[in-house]
Structure 1
Amino acid sequence: MLEALIDRLGEPVVLFGFGLIIGAVFGAAAQHSRFCLRGATLEVGAFSIGPRMLVWIIVFATAVSVTQGAVGLGLLDVSAARQLAATGSLSGAIIGGLMFGAGMILARGCVSRLLVLSATGNLRAIMTGLVVTLVAQASLRGALSPAREMLARLWTVEGGAGRSLGERLGIGSGAAGAVSAIVLLAALVMAFRRASAPSHVVAALFVGLAVAAGWIATASLAAVSLEIVPVSSITFTGPSADTLMGLVNERYLPLSFAVGLVPGVFAGSLAMSLATREFGVVRFGPDAPMERYLIGAVLMGFGSMLAGGCAVGAAVSGGALLSLTAWVAGASMWVGALLMPLFIPSLAKERPR
């Protein structure tokens, strides 16, 4: 069936379609579930496990359990994924993760959350997201790339078994999938006992499933394609930068999974916000100074490129593969986010949106 679809439409169109559909599911589910790493870290910083933390656990555990379950059943081959196959940077994961975590606290949202909020009429998120994208592009190929490359070279790890957390710990995909499924079940039980909105819980499950679906869709296409198809899943900083630069510099944007992902997320979030009547214009104000958001955007743009991904691309998508650098980056994001309110105590009192 997939081969017939490729023959009829071509690989770029199929990849774009996968990105558009998976992105729309992610955007709608992330908007409704309030999925946000920043909100989860603020709850942990207040020594509580609230709805945001439970949503984050459900998303992460779903992504890991489904992805690793598919690998264990032989339905998914992710050995060629960049997060595992290529040389990784532990120094980049640590330094970039710390920067990203601090930046998302200042900007009141990680990159994925900013994209989701942009579709709901949040002008602060749109402005901040554009700055993140520009800094990310400068860090990847522009004036900031030498600094990123220098920091990334400080501590590297070879791709393959050396970059696989499962290989290092001797944990198979079946065991990893089973453990994450137990964690997921515990989080679901806790969520319902604490009277979390059922629709938010279901939406969180769909966010995690969207991440796993990204790996399955691109890996399935790569397995039958005569061309080289990157095995990837949901991530935002790189695709957002490539999409923006493509629209600015080129008349025609080459279709790919990443190119379909960004408009898909935007459309899904917009549709959900309109359906739930949560669409509304939000501007900068005295309690939301622009300079703080811009500093956060710079930290996230550079940090995500250095860490190998954003809070979703590294911590969730990469984490679902049991990538060592992804787990280190995700842990560093948590540390950076938890430390920032210690320097600016007022940040801990802000309610996530």
Structure 2
Amino acid sequence: MFELETYYLVNILGLALGVVFGFIAQQKQFCFSGSIKDFLQIKSTKRASSVIMAMIVAIISTQVISNIFELDLTQSAYFKKDINYIAIIIGGALFGAGMMIADGCSSRSIVKFAQGDSNALITLLFIAIFAYATTKGILFEIVNPFINNPTLIEASKIIDNFQLNIYLVLTILFILLYMFTKNLKRVFTLYDGAIIGLLIGASWFITGYIGSESMEKEIPIQAISFVYPSAKTLELFTYYQVNEFSFGVCLVIGAIIGTFISTLFNKKYSFGCTANKNINKVKYNMIGGAMMGVGGIMAIGCTVGQGLSGLSTLVFSSFLAIISIFVSGYFTGKFLLKRDKLAMCFIFEWEDKEKKSKEIDFQI
């Protein structure tokens, strides 16, 4: 009987997770930055509720799986030794502003590109290029000394990078979910968030449990993230001799495939919107992508990498990162809205309010 080496099995499962992620994210247009934009423009909390649901399920599934299979989550990048909170806050702020300027974070740009928005490819390329430049390229000599600054690291040691109490975190999230939904029936429509949350738990299991059996190559324990994996995907595509398929790269490829498959059944979003006369879309894609590429590396993750995967470990630095991303994204969104430059193509409102909603025609 033919048996796959563990390394290849992990990559295949990573590809499958990416396909499911892309399919679900396209079907319901799951998006962290979009949830902020929805609230700023039409006070809608629908997509925000999906994000909160994803956080809740990600935390529960991760903690259950890690306890059952005795996974050591402290070996992941989120429990990095010599943590620099200042770098995480600044990186999160850069990423949050960038995702609003480019109209989508890294995972959202993957979905938008695969469903027909060619401008999103510009964002993806700039995320990948600047993330790579920050880790191995021209920006490394600038950013790395700041991230590993001894003074800032020593100052950060005042607060240990501890794990928060799961009951406290879940209580806060359930309160937020209640505030956003205000209707039990609405909770049952948030299946996209629930499935994506389960994918986070599954990714920890695949890399932490199945991957631990690998004898041919060491597989680091990790979950779903898209900034650094986007850089590694670009590296593989352009210079395959120095790179190879990995769990993260397979996630990116799978998300593109999954989104494209989803567009065959859900054609509503299967095109890119025409540019608004007030928005220089290409310029915004480039600037926002560059900010996310640098910020995502500094913050050790993106809205999915820190907001779901990191958050699921309950580590303090991940909460710091996602709060920084949210605050920066929120105020950047308000600034863009005031200048009539906050893009919007589609309305995402609760189904029971759809008929009462005023028709809005925003263009990206």
TM-score by length of 1: 0.85
Select 1:314's aligned residue among 303, 306, 328: 306
Instruction: Give the corresponding residue for 1:61.
Output: 56
Task: Give the conservation status (yes or no) of the 8 Å contact 2:18–2:255.
Answer: yes
Map 1:1-353 onto structure 2 (within 5 A): 8-45=3-40, 48=43, 50-154=45-149, 155-156=152-153, 162-166=160-164, 171=165, 175=167, 180=170, 183=173, 187=177, 191=181, 193=183, 196=186, 201-226=190-215, 227-250=217-240, 253-278=243-268, 279-282=270-273, 284-289=275-280, 290-344=282-336, 345-346=338-339, 350-351=343-344
Counterparts in 2 of 1:348 and 1:207: CA distance versus 1, 3 Å: farther
Paired letter, 2:283: E
- Greater mean deviation of Cα atoms: 279-288 or 300-309: 279-288
Distance in 1 (alpha carbons) for counterparts of 2:178 and 2:334: 31
Distance in 1 (alpha carbons) for counterparts of 2:109 and 2:132: 17
Task: Give the conservation status (yes or no) of the 8 Å contact 1:188–1:201.
Answer: no
Distance in 2 (alpha carbons) for counterparts of 1:117 and 1:322: 30
Task: Give the conservation status (yes or no) of the 8 Å contact 1:139–1:148.
Answer: yes
Report the CA distance between 1:93 and its aligned residue: 0.8
Paired letter, 1:261: L
Distance in 1 (alpha carbons) for counterparts of 2:319 and 2:181: 24
Task: Give the conservation status (yes or no) of the 8 Å contact 1:110–1:311.
Answer: yes
Measured against aligned partners, the alpha-carbon deviations of 1:205-241 in whole angstroms (never above 9, x if no partner) come to 1111111111111111233233421000110111111
Counterparts in 2 of 1:296 and 1:28: CA distance versus 1, 3 Å: same
RMSD of Structure 2 on Structure 1 (CA): 2.9
TM-score by length of 2: 0.83
Report the CA distance between 1:243 and its aligned residue: 1.2
Distance in 2 (alpha carbons) for counterparts of 1:190 and 1:295: 32
Distance in 2 (alpha carbons) for counterparts of 1:272 and 1:197: 23
Structure 1 vs Structure 2: percent identity of aligned residues?
25
Counterparts in 2 of 1:285 and 1:182: CA distance versus 1, 3 Å: closer
Counterparts in 2 of 1:49 and 1:282: CA distance versus 1, 3 Å: closer
Task: Give the conservation status (yes or no) of the 8 Å contact 2:232–2:243.
Answer: no
Counterparts in 2 of 1:42 and 1:281: CA distance versus 1, 3 Å: closer
Paired letter, 1:135: F
Distance in 1 (alpha carbons) for counterparts of 2:15 and 2:94: 30
Residue ranges of structure 1 left out of the alignment (5+ in a row) = none
Residue ranges of structure 2 left out of the alignment (5+ in a row) = 347-364
Task: Give the conservation status (yes or no) of the 8 Å contact 2:40–2:334.
Answer: no
Counterparts in 2 of 1:352 and 1:96: CA distance versus 1, 3 Å: farther
Paired letter, 1:224: E
Distance in 1 (alpha carbons) for counterparts of 2:172 and 2:90: 32
